[in-house]
Amino acid sequence: MLIYRTLKEQGYALKEIKNSTFIGYASPVRDENEAKEFIDLVKSKHNDANHNVSAYLINSNNVLAMKYDDDGEPSGSSGKPVFKVLEMKELSNVVVVVSRYFGGIKLGFGGLSRAYREAAVEAIENAGIMEVHERTRIVIRSGYPDIDTVTKLVEGAAGSIIKTDYSDVVDLVVEVDSEMAEDLIEKIINVTSNRVTVK
């Protein structure tokens, strides 16, 4: 089951529009505190900018937090368009900050909105979007002769081995996307002719 879409890593964008410079930053975050820390970090880096416009959307552990800030730009001209990009791309747990250095030419409300939106989109695309799926943890007990086969099946299902304990048998703790778990268990049992136990 798809839980949410977020960013793979931090992204960056630099745009020159009618002598104004727009610098966009986008980052995945775990919670609202991380989002606020990221905004403060960018603000301190660009404390000489005319405006540091920000927006974030957090949806984790049943907590929904969303906010945007025009930071002195005309109301609704900057923070909201940046936030709308997050909504449009169906992103969660993401923060975006766009710093603007004014170049002397006024862009007007529409021009301003477009410039902030474009910087946000470019920073997000630079970061890359990924999907986070619900994961299921399973424990596999295998004899040594079957361990290579089991490991290949886990990797083939895009699972990850969290822990391995070696004794007279091998115990693997594995995480796999929830929708793949049943299929993986069935394959392991069939391929090893029931020599492996899964719980």
Write the CATH number for 40.
3.30.230.30
| Number of domains present in the structure of the chain | 2
Q: What is the mean pLDDT of residues 152-169?
A: 87
Give me the domain span that covers residue 13: 2-132
* Counts of helices then strands in the chain (DSSP H, E): 5, 11
Confidence of residue 183 (pLDDT cuts 50, 70, 90): confident
pTM for the complete prediction?
A: 0.75
Answer with the one of 132, 147, 166 that is the final residue of a domain. 132
Pair 163, 121 in one domain: no
Closest CA to 176 of 156, 160, 153: 160
pLDDT in tens, 4-32: 899 999 999 999 999 999 999 999 999 99
Two structure tokens written together for 29: 């975050």
pLDDT in tens, 95-147: 999 999 999 889 999 999 999 999 999 999 999 999 888 888 989 898 899 88
Using CA atoms of 66, 71, 72, 77 in order, give the dihedral in degrees to the nearest 10: -50
pLDDT in tens, 39-77: 999 999 999 999 999 999 998 767 789 999 999 999 999
